[in-house]
Structure 1
Amino acid sequence: MAFRFAPFVVYPSTRVYHLESPLRRSEIWRKWCIGASSTAPGVDLEALNAAIAKKDSDAVKDALDQLNGAGWARKWSSQPYVSRRTTSLRELTTLGIKNAENLAIPSVRNDAALLSTVVGATGLLAVLAGRLPGDWGFFVPYLIGSIPLIVLAVGSISPGLLQAAIVGFSSFFPDYQERIVRHEAAHFLVAYLIGLPILDYSLDIGKEHVNLGDERLQQLIYTGNLDDKGLDRLAVVSMAGLAAEGLQYDKVVGQSADLFSLQRFFNRTKPSLSKEKQQNLTRWAALF
């Protein structure tokens, strides 16, 4: 079992970040490892590679601890002490996050864009079809006009199909790819800095995620006994992608899945948190 941090509504760019194929990425990783080893004599990344391949979180942590001791992975677990405090919206704004008051409000930008496009396109086609001769000009506009209702029905019966359409449509936004890179890199970086081992990640469209593993935290979540220390660590990783977007863009559109994950952690915490404490923890985690 691993923690999966991924945007529910996908996003990202006009800046050229190429989404590499798995084969290409593995080749880049291999060359990077060779280059890293050549610049740091005596550093062996084989143990880390093997642990990641086996999805063994404890082995990944041990390998990174050894690399840190050897002076290579110097930033690994460099911020292990995470402790919440009372946080105001003003602090987030001062830090540079745009529209901090809307950070925790799920975005409907991509959903609205798809629905508006479907309604607009079918409306235009229906008007044009009304000029067809005879009965065609009567029946065809009604058939075309029913398409938005069919889309909504599909979304109600099978949300996954509608979500796939939204994901595909979202790629037309000019900031789509850059948002993905920024969001997932933030999850990755913060987890690395606080010492949570990373087992996997992907920037593939529709499959964006960063997978983390920690046996102790997994057990606490599974039993519903997540403590304050564990919750604080998971909260800052959950909010990292949202905060990274908020520093760059006026609106955050990739927070839905992250907020859902954070709420799941709240629900598995003992003692339980009040709504006010949950709100403050969310703000503090974004600030951290």
Structure 2
Amino acid sequence: MASLLNTGVAAAADFRLRNLDLKCHHTTWRVRASSSAAPGVGLSNLQSAIAKNDSTGVKEALDQLNEVGWAKIWGSQPYVSRRTTSLRELTTLGIKNAENLAIPSVRNDAAFLFTVVGTTGFLGVLAGQLPGDWGFFVPYLIGSISLIVLAVGSISPGLLQAAINGFSSFFPDYQERIARHEAAHFLVAYLLGLPILGYSLDIGKEHVNLIDERLEKLIYSGQLDAKELDRLAVVAMAGLAAEGFQYDKVVGQSADLFTLQRFINRSKPQLSKEQQQNLTRWAVLLAGSLLKTNKNLHEALIKAMSEKKTVLECIEAIEKAS
């Protein structure tokens, strides 16, 4: 897929939502009473809405909590209209290698394949020292493993991707990357007033579960206007921006880019390639600015999500850190 930042968003006929999920997953979240809410402020309505996967109820409960002065961060980011954005602005903000942000990383894929080929090659050489016919046939059998892996990748890419995801967990920065990436989606959505019902940091299932019934109807009908597209684009690019601040290469952006493409395809009026390119840059810039301004909230949320806190506990972590 061509770079969104440099050559516009490439069309995506098929995609999978992983990092930013706008569909309801049947996940049961452990909800327990809050001790951090201010005296007299009840969180029972919010607890109940999250447990029921009721996005409208979550939004209404947070709106009420905001009115009584508890959920101060919820929906606190005012709408900022899209503007022309350059790569230089992203670099100035502190994002590393901004020109390569939207180029899908092949680090994990290359490391997996190199390991498979290297290991089977080494074992094949050792097997060649076996006596008799074993020294002839075993190396061929071991060498065929690489061909089998490639064949599986061609016939069933999902199985190969699952293997790569499992292998990727051995990278020292893997879990930290996931937590930082998904916490960025969570926090930016919360700042923009989009209800969060769930999240996962599990290998191959990383996502933040956002549901807004009104937005869902607009998406499925292909009637997203510029304002709603901007909001969703900023949330979609938040994980990419978070990794861009911390690492030279962004690994977890592919699903986010496909998600953004989906939103663009469902918007009215349709954007030109130049407008798509600018939207992506602007969304990364605004998401990065929000994360940088609210760095303490982001770090608190990373910690809470890494400890597998409930959605309610994650919200409390954000509000407590404010």
Partners of 1:213 and 1:120 in 2: CA distance: 44
Specify the alignment match of 1:11 in structure 2. none
Structure 2 unmatched ranges of 5 or more? 1-15, 22-26, 287-322
Pairing partner for 2:64 from 44, 63, 66 = 66
Aligned partner of residue 36 in structure 1, secondary structure: coil
Partners of 1:7 and 1:70 in 2: CA distance: 30
Specify the alignment match of 2:296 in structure 1. none
Specify the alignment match of 1:135 in structure 2. 133
Specify the alignment match of 1:174 in structure 2. 172
Letter in 1 for 2:100: N
Q: CA deviation at 1:230?
A: 1.1
Say yes or no: does 1:6 pair with 2:6: no
Specify the alignment match of 1:111 in structure 2. 109
Letter in 1 for 2:127: A
Say yes or no: does 1:151 pair with 2:154: no
- Deviation per residue, 1:164-208 (Å, 9 max, x gap): 111111111110111111101100000000111111112233322
Specify the alignment match of 2:36 in structure 1. 36
Specify the alignment match of 2:289 in structure 1. none
Partners of 1:50 and 1:211 in 2: CA distance: 17
Contact 1:4 1:211 in 2 (8 A): no
Letter in 1 for 2:232: L
Structure 1 unmatched ranges of 5 or more? 9-21
Specify the alignment match of 2:73 in structure 1. 75
Aligned ranges 1:130-279 → 2 under 5 Å: 130-279=128-277
Contact 2:17 2:255 in 1 (8 A): no
Alignment length (residue pairs): 266
Letter in 2 for 1:6: N
Residues 229 and 215 from structure 1, CA distance in 2 versus in 1: closer, same or farther, beyond 3 angstroms? same
Aligned partner of residue 146 in structure 1, secondary structure: helix
- Deviation per residue, 1:45-77 (Å, 9 max, x gap): 110111111111111111000000010000110
Specify the alignment match of 2:46 in structure 1. 48
Partners of 1:97 and 1:56 in 2: CA distance: 36
Q: CA deviation at 1:226?
A: 1.3
Aligned partner of residue 269 in structure 2, secondary structure: coil
Range moving further from structure 2, 133-142 or 48-57? 133-142
Contact 1:106 1:255 in 2 (8 A): yes
TM-score normalised by L of structure 2 = 0.79
Range moving further from structure 2, 136-145 or 97-106? 136-145
Partners of 1:7 and 1:136 in 2: CA distance: 51
- Deviation per residue, 1:69-115 (Å, 9 max, x gap): 01000011011313211100000000000000011001111111100
Partners of 1:181 and 1:139 in 2: CA distance: 46
Pairing partner for 1:282 from 266, 280, 283 = 280
Residues 164 and 150 from structure 1, CA distance in 2 versus in 1: closer, same or farther, beyond 3 angstroms? same
Aligned partner of residue 198 in structure 2, secondary structure: strand
- Deviation per residue, 1:236-287 (Å, 9 max, x gap): 0000001000001111000011011011111111211111111111110000
Contact 1:266 1:273 in 2 (8 A): yes
Higher relative contact order (CA 8 A, sep 6+): 1
Residues 7 and 134 from structure 1, CA distance in 2 versus in 1: closer, same or farther, beyond 3 angstroms? farther
Partners of 1:43 and 1:5 in 2: CA distance: 35
Specify the alignment match of 1:13 in structure 2. none
State the percentage of identical aligned residues.
Answer: 79
Contact 1:188 1:198 in 2 (8 A): yes
Q: CA deviation at 1:4?
A: 5.5
Residues 5 and 190 from structure 1, CA distance in 2 versus in 1: closer, same or farther, beyond 3 angstroms? farther
Contact 2:74 2:191 in 1 (8 A): yes
Residues 76 and 7 from structure 1, CA distance in 2 versus in 1: closer, same or farther, beyond 3 angstroms? closer
Letter in 1 for 2:19: A
Partners of 2:195 and 2:80 in 1: CA distance: 16
Partners of 1:203 and 1:134 in 2: CA distance: 50
